[in-house]
Structures are given as C-alpha cells and as structure tokens.
Structure 1
Amino acid sequence: MPKMDTQTILTKVSDFMNTRVPFQQLLGFEITEFNPARGELKFQWKDELLGNVPQRILHGGVTATALDTAGGLVAIAGMVDRLEDPSESYLMERLSRCGTIDLRVDFLRPGRGKTFIASATIIRSGNKVAVARMELHNEEGTHIAFGTGTYLVG
C-alpha cells in the first residue's frame, strides 16, 4: 500500500467529507480549513434549515451539527498528524474508529444570517481522546453559539 504525507491525507479526508457524506451535503457544509490547530466549515442559509419558522432562526440541531463537525475536524487532523507515514488502509481503519464521545452546546443568540462559519481549535489532542472548543458565527461576526466536544481518536 502506498504511504501518504499528512497534507495529502488531510486533503483526501476533506474532499471525502465535502463530496461524499450525505448529511453534510444536505446541510450544505463545506470544509474550508482542516489542520491540527484549527478546523473550519461554512454553510449558507436555506429555508430547509429553519428551526423557528415565525422568527426565521436556524435550527438548533444544525448549529450543534456544525459545531460537532468542526470539532471532529480538528480532532481528526491531530490524530492524522501523529501517524508516522500511514498506509491508506491503516488510515481508513483509524478513521472508522473516530467519533464523538460528548458534546456541549451553548446557544448565545438566535441563528440568523446568510453565511455561517463554524470553527474549532484543539484543547487537548491525545492518543485516544481529543477535546476541542468550537464557535459558530454568521458572516457579520455575530457569535451565535459555542461548544466543547470530546472525540474518540484512537
């Protein structure tokens, strides 16, 4: 099996998530940054994402999913960065074991805007577990929500 460098791996995983994960496509998520220090995704407002119809507010589940996805990105990137010259099959086996252990979301303001940006930074990146801090803003910089996620990475 061919070996891949970290950047090639991150590019392949990002492309996969952008084009082949049905739920992320449904929500319109696009990964815009993916490295061990920071993960980011963007998505556009569409009426299908309404949670509060009379007030036209983003559904809380979409907010939580965006934060969870951003946190997962930075957790996965840290795990990939620690691998020494992995084969594609070993990488896929490791990625298949990754998942969210715990997610806390604090909603600060109603989710209004045209574009939403979910970003995450790593708090702890260990061999088995990673912890990330996430934020959701709109295109004007309004801070809509933040969260903390704990992820299984090993």
Structure 2
Amino acid sequence: MKLNPEFFPLTQLATRFVDQLTQCRRLGLKVLEASEHHVLIELPYSTELIGYPDTGVIHGGVVTTLMDTACGSAVVCAIFEKFKSLEISPTLDLRVDYMKPAIPNKPVYGFAECYRMTSSVAFTRAIAYQDSIDDPIAHAVGSFMRISPEMVGEEFRQALMGNETKNKGDSA
C-alpha cells in the first residue's frame, strides 16, 4: 500500500508508532518531532523509573528503551518518507554506551537518526541527553531488520495511519 507523506506529517506517524507500544505508554514517552532525518522523544522523569533509590537516578534499562524506541521510530519515518509505505523493523542489534547517569527530576531526551538503509537492514545512531545534546547521558548505534510492507498487519497499519478504533493494544 503506497501512502502520500505530503498529507501525513512524520511527527504524527512517529507518535502513533510509539503509542502502540505498551512499554512506551507506561514510560510516558512523547514524540516531540520527527522528520525523514531524525526523531526526538521525551522521557519524563518519574519516581517509578528510579533504579537507584539512594540517588533517584532512573534505571539504565529505561534509557535503553528510550534509545531503542527513538531509533525504531527514526527507521519507520525514514522508510515511510523514502518508500511511501509502512514496514515492521524489529531491532537486530543495539549497543548503548553510557557516559553518565541522568540527573534526577529532569526529563531525558532521545535524539535518533536512520543514517543508512539497505534492502534488508536500517542503521541508526542516537544520543540521550538532558540539558544539551552536547553533554550526552548515552550514545547508541543500532541495526533494524526491514520486513516487507505486506507483513504489517492491517490493524497495526490502521493504528499508525490514524484510522484505529481506539485500540491501544500491541499489534506489531
């Protein structure tokens, strides 16, 4: 199914993609912007995400989820923009290098880009940060499998395109 991105902003597509994932809804992830080149997602601070009670620092696994989601969203947007179609692109590999802990009581941002695509794999890089992208919490690189548009279920396609009947279950 070929789609016309001119009538469908990529921020809206990335938001709907993230909203389909239970763990992302639970974490409160919010897409701030998306283009064919990047995605920016906010992870709000919550005491439920603390991994180190003595310090209030959020768990590293939460940062990894933010990075994986930002990278996956960047792949969805890049494919949609380039091929005018939706593809399922599960994570093949994700490497996260932590630079420092996140400061408690502040949101964390995940900025990701899909910088290369082959016929079967999409390659991404990302940065998690708080106050400045130049002062990262973590860096990530990932690869995502490209699976043909025919493998996208109709319910998931409709949810991403905004034609869902308010079903918020995981359908990917």
Interval containing the TM-score (normalised by the shorter chain): 0.7 to 0.9
TM-score by length of structure 2 reads 0.74
Name which of structure 1's ranges 128-137 and 138-147 shifts more when overlaid on structure 2.
138-147
Which amino acid in structure 2 is aligned with residue 127 of structure 1? S
Name which of structure 1's ranges 61-70 and 17-26 shifts more when overlaid on structure 2.
17-26
Instruction: Look up the match of 2:80.
Output: 80
Q: Deviations over 1:60-108 (max 9, x none)?
A: 1001011111111111112112224x5xxxx3xx33xx10000000010
**Shift in CA distance, 78/126, structure 1 to aligned 2, threshold 3 Å:** farther
1:105 is the counterpart of 2:104: no
Q: Within 5 Å, which residues of 2 pair with 1:5-154?
A: 5-7=4-6, 8=8, 10-84=10-84, 86=85, 91=86, 94-95=87-88, 98-113=89-104, 114-139=106-131, 141=133, 142-154=135-147
- State how far apart, in whole Å, the 1-side matches of 2:58 and 2:28 are: 13
Name which of structure 1's ranges 14-23 and 102-111 shifts more when overlaid on structure 2.
14-23
- Contact persistence 2:14–2:77 (CA under 8 A): no
- State how far apart, in whole Å, the 2-side matches of 1:11 and 1:32 are: 7
Identity %: 25
- State how far apart, in whole Å, the 2-side matches of 1:128 and 1:15 are: 24
Which secondary structure does the structure 1 equivalent of 2:55 belong to? Answer: coil
- RMSD across aligned C-alpha pairs, in angstroms? 2.1
Considering fraction of residues, name the structure with more strand. 1
- Contact persistence 1:128–1:153 (CA under 8 A): yes
Name which of structure 1's ranges 16-25 and 115-124 shifts more when overlaid on structure 2.
16-25
Cα displacement (A) at 1:29: 0.3
Question: Structure 1: any 5+ residue segments left out of the alignment?
Answer: none
TM-score by length of structure 1 reads 0.82
- State how far apart, in whole Å, the 1-side matches of 2:11 and 2:40 are: 14
Aligned length, in residue pairs: 144
**Shift in CA distance, 127/6, structure 1 to aligned 2, threshold 3 Å:** farther
